[in-house]
Amino acid sequence: MALRDAAIVAYAETKIVEKSDRDIWDIGAEILESLLDKTGIDKAEIDGMLVNAALTGAGNCFWAQSTVDYLGLELEFLQSVDIGGCSAAGAVARAAAAIDTGLCSTVFLLNADTPVAENNLNLRSYVREWSTPHGIIGPPADFGLLATRYAHQFGLDYTSLAKLAIAQRNHAILNDNACEKLRKPISVDDYLNSRMIAEPIRLLDCVMPCDGGNGLLVMSRAQAKRKGLDKHVVPIGYGEKTNLSPGTNIVDVTVSGHAAAGQKAFKTAGIAPKDVGSFHPYDDFIIAIMIQLEMLGFCKHGQGCSFIKNTDFNFDGDLPLNTSGGQISAGQAGLAGGGTNLIEGVRQLFGEAGARQVKNTNNAVVTGIGHIPYGRNWGTSVVLVLAPGN
């Protein structure tokens, strides 16, 4: 068996909201119910589950088990996926591996988080000694350090970054599940004039913390066929890199693990960047999209701005980008946010994206970014290539 013997037979997603008045497990229950309704699968058939490590669940080292208990499932395989923003895409590869080794056959992948309503995060990391004491205001300052360095090495045209922000915003307007507050058009001037958070990072470079959830149901392709679930999506390539170059003191912070992860994923999938039907990169900050375009080989390292200038990122353009708005314009549902772009990639390949449906459904590329290390690039980088299975 191989990665591509697994099938995503259904996807589900809640609306992303500024602050949830519902419990995180209520959101999980909605996702489960939606997946059961869509597939006709009986709850008892689910024998495996992957749950994202959530900000709401932080501090509970029995998070996955508690979630299973509240949802009333009986399982033969259970795993919490705690690679931050990579958890959602990473879970697809892990589900395929679990099925491949016979640990389970029908896997529920749940990503839910409600950090605005209830954030229980208490980081035990370098942050408490080496980051917080210097007034590092979380990721915006880390990305400020990254952006200044990028500008020094290559130059940085902020109107190019504005173009990415606008394309995603226009997609969020077409997405009923996007956070309502963000479903308003923005202009280049709106982007450039948005207030500075950690210069040169502006407000419109950043995600807005939100609450919400999403999920997938994965089984073997053979089983999907037996069940008559002919319409499904298959993972055809995957790459993952955690803690790039730990033994190098002075690293080029504009280089991420996506170069290695992307190369592996594209090679396994048998495609090249020019073949990508739609691109759904993890977007915690706008500049992260540009760096991933470079790392995945859509353009050369340092030439992201000119590539952006010459590319149409709208859903009906050359390279459809985060067609549900991405996290930046749909809202970041905490550590479930990585699932927002993943679900959209799956939805596009199901041909169910409605007013924002892309034409090229040969494949969709989804990525993840998880964790920000001290003075370096990103903790984990993943790249997942999906294709229609029928």
Partner 1 sequence: MSEMMNDLEALAREQVKPFAFSRPYWEATRQKKLLVQYCRRTGQYQFYPRPTSVFTGRRDLEWREVSGAGEVFSYTIAQRGRGPFRGHEPYVIATIKLDIGINVIGNLVHCKRDDLRIGLRVVPCWTPLPGGEHILMFEPARQAASKTAGAGRPAAQKRQSS
- The binding site for partner 1 (CB under 8 A) comprises 126, 128-138, 140-141, 144-149, 152, 195-201, 246-247, 249-250, 253, 374-375
Residue 115 CA to chain centroid, in angstroms?
17
Q: Residue 18: which of 111, 87, 115, 121 has the closest Cα?
A: 115
Task: Write the single-letter amino acid at 381.
Answer: S
Q: Say which amino acid occupies 368.
A: G
The one-letter amino acid code at 118 reads: E
What's the angle, vertex CA 185, arms to CA 180 and CA 188, rounded to 5?
140
Instruction: Compare residues 138 and 297 and give the one whose CB is closer to partner 1.
Output: 138
Q: What angle in degrees, to the nearest 10, is found between the helix axes of 258-269 and 286-295?
A: 60
Quick one: 195 or 274, whose CB is closer to partner 1?
Answer: 195
Nearer to partner 1, 131 or 357 (CB): 131
* Nearest distance from C-beta of residue 262 to partner 1, angstroms: 25
Distance, in Å, from the CA atom of 214 to the CA atom of 212, rounded to the nearest integer, reads 7
The DSSP code for 181 is: G
Q: Measured from the CB atom, is 47 or 294 closer to partner 1?
A: 294
Contact 379, 84 (CB under 8 A): yes
| Min dist. Cβ of residue 24 to partner 1 (A) | 25
Question: Which residue, 108 or 143, is less far from partner 1 as judged by CB?
Answer: 143
Element (H, E) at 214: strand 212-220
CB of 122 to partner 1, least distance (A): 12
Give, for 293, the enclosing helix (H) or strand (E).
helix 286-295
Nearest to partner 1 of 60, 148 (CB atom):
148
5 Cβ neighbours under 8 A, 6+ residues apart: 96, 99, 100, 220, 221, 222
Question: Of 236 and 290, which has the nearer Cβ to partner 1?
Answer: 290
Cβ 197 to partner 1 shortest distance, Å? 5
| Distance from C-alpha of 361 to C-alpha of 350, rounded to nearest angstrom | 8
User: Contact 171/326 with Cβ under 8 angstroms?
Assistant: yes
